[in-house]
Amino acid sequence: MRPSELWRTTPFRLTLMNGAVFALALMALLGLIYQQTAGYLTRQIDQICVSEAKNLTVGGAERLPERVTQAVATDARHIGYYGLFSAEGIWISGNVRSLPSGFPIDGKTHEIRQHGLQPGSRALVQRMPWGEILFVGHDALVLTGLREIIVNALKVSGGLILVMGLGAAALLSLRPLQRIDSLRDASRAALKGELGVRLPVSARRDEIDMLAGVANTMIDETERLLWEVKSVGENVAHDLRTPLNRLRALLYRVRQETKLVGAEREMIDQALAETDELLVRFRALQRIGEIERRDRQAFFEPVRLQSVLEHVIELHAPSAEDRGVELAAEIAADAPQVQADPTLLFEAVSNVVDNALKFTPKGGKVTVRLLTREEGPRVEVADNGPGVPAAERDAVLQRFYRAERARTEPGSGLGLSIVTAIARLHHFTLVLEDARPGLKVALNCWPRGMEA
């Protein structure tokens, strides 16, 4: 499964979206906690400044310089700023040597932004009734600490949400994806014409199952319609064979009992030949129906393709000789056996060899090969006759289709349809290729879709 596939699934996106919303909510919550706590701490610092300023001035003007020096000395943590200045702003005592410029002298606490002080530090500047100016400030170490805690919490929880969100999203999407994959496999088979397959439906009856159910009903209906259409042709073939046989018998009797000669006799002979041709077609049509309806596994057994091919060659050797076409064989002795109906395989290869001999001109060559491929055995029948152009290769597999050039040869255009039906029954693939020159018909004897 590719990451891009994972990304496209609805559960993955939904989980990620949920994670993002959750992360935003967490950020908002932590922000709120920070804002509230920082406000509270600021008010606390302000109170400390105010009460310290009050304490320092308790002793009056005389004791103020000394108290300020004392306050600096007792501040072991160095978080307090104290300064006493004359009315003109000249330093008298304390650890603050100069008044911050522009700071309001109103006895109220404000934030002091000054180099060397923590951001958020607070201070008040107050003018004494006797003119001196008192500066009392407090560091914002707690605020900085708090901010660090919150930022760290955001980093850690953000990372966790990201990792857990991605993990949960991947886990949640994997199962639906696997199910979609199995549905895709099943529908691929259905698209290739295997109407027997149905999409898997689980007991959960969720939305995927609902869709699979709808698709299955559609395949059911298609299969039913297809059988109906097919059986129309077969029924016609079946129903017409009896009257046709009677017609043939009648024509035969006419020929035997009347002493017709010349053109009249020729006409009767022609009528007989046409009737025979019709009967052959009807028989072939019925045969295709029979093969398609056959219970797949019932007649299957392990088959040695070598012996099937040898029989086909034996059967066609005399006709090859008559036609002046060389019939050669290249058979791999190590080709594995296949599960198949031997009679049907014989019929299929026989049809293909019959075509090759029929369409290859005198002096040509037909080669029957049995190859071993990684996926399984492959039967090839190649000739050096006129071949079938690439554009026509699908068409010749259809019922009754005969190429323009083939019209001079006898046939009804049903041979390859029978071969296709047999291949389909076995889950094998029939491939028409260019033999340069000529046609190569190959039967890949392994289940479709297994190609590397």
Ligand X SMILES: Nc1ncnc2c1ncn2[C@@H]1O[C@H](COP(=O)(O)OP(=O)(O)OP(=O)(O)O)[C@@H](O)[C@H]1O
126 binding Mg ion? (CB under 5 A):
no
- Interaction between residue 19 and ligand X (CB under 6 A): no
Nearer to Mg ion among residue 4 and residue 408 (C-beta): 408
Judged by beta carbon, residue 305 or residue 396, the one nearer ligand X is 396
**Is the Cα torsion angle 176, 178, 183, 188 positive or negative in sign?**
positive
Residues 6+ apart with CB under 8 A from 4: none
Quote the least distance from Cβ 356 to Mg ion, whole Å: 9
> What gap in Å lies between CA 133 and CA 254, rounded to an integer?
145
Closest CA to 251 of 277, 273, 225: 273
Our CB check for ligand X shows the closer of 64 and 421 to be 421
Measured from the CB atom, is 252 or 400 closer to Mg ion?
400
Provide CB contacts within 8 A for 266, sequence distance 6+.
none
Per-position x/- string for 414-443, each x denoting binding to Mg ion as judged by CB under 5 A, each - no binding: -x----------------------------
Closest CA to 283 of 412, 92, 179, 388: 412
The CB-of-355 to Mg ion minimum distance in angstroms stands at 4
- Does position 291 interact with ligand X (CB under 6 A)? The reply is no
Radius of gyration (Cα) for the chain, nearest Å? 49
Q: Which among ligand X, Mg ion, none contacts residue 356 (Cβ within 5 to 8 A by kind)? A: ligand X
- Asked if 80 touches ligand X (CB under 6 A), the answer is no
The residue within the footprint of ligand X, chosen from 11, 80, 94, 413 (CB under 6 A), is 413
| Residue 423 in the binding site for ligand X (CB under 6 A) | no
Q: Segment contacting ligand X (CB under 6 A): 56-64, 124-132, 299-307, 406-414?
A: 406-414
Question: What one-character DSSP code corresponds to residue 114?
Answer: -
What does 442 interact with, of Mg ion, ligand X, none (CB < 5 to 8 A by kind)? none
Site for ligand X, residues 373 to 392, rule: CB under 6 A: 383, 385-388
What is the nearest approach in angstroms of ligand X to the Cβ of residue 341? 20
What's the CA gap between 367 and 383, in Å, rounded?
A: 6
Other C-beta atoms lying within 10 Å of the C-beta of residue 274: 12
Q: How far is CA 34 from CA 136, 149, 155, in A?
A: 26, 9, 15
Rounded to an integer, what distance in angstroms lies between the CA atom of residue 319 and that of residue 325? 9
Could you tell me the strand order of the sheet in which 91-94 lies?
91-94, 80-85, 133-138, 122-127, 109-111
CB of 415 to ligand X, least distance (A): 2
* Nearest distance from C-beta of residue 218 to ligand X, angstroms: 31
* Binders of ligand X in range 336-365 (CB under 6 A): 355-356, 359
Instruction: Give yes or no for a contact between 359 and 383, defined as CB atoms under 8 angstroms apart.
Output: yes
State the binding string over 320-359 for Mg ion (x if CB under 5 A, else -).
Answer: -----------------------------------x----
CB atoms within 10 A of CB 90: 10
Out of 125, 285, 439, 442, the only residue in the binding site for ligand X (CB under 6 A) is 439
Q: Which is nearer to ligand X, 31 or 361 (CB)?
A: 361
State which of positions 92-121 bind Mg ion (CB under 5 A).
Answer: none
CB 305 within 8 A of CB 335: yes
Stretch that binds ligand X, among 3-11, 84-92, 317-325, 395-403 (CB under 6 A): 395-403
DSSP per residue, 219-254: HHHHHHHHHHHHHHHHHHHHHHHHHHHHHHHHHHHH
Binding site for ligand X (CB under 6 A): 284, 355-356, 359, 383, 385-388, 396, 401-403, 406, 411-417, 439
Binding site for Mg ion (CB under 5 A): 355, 415
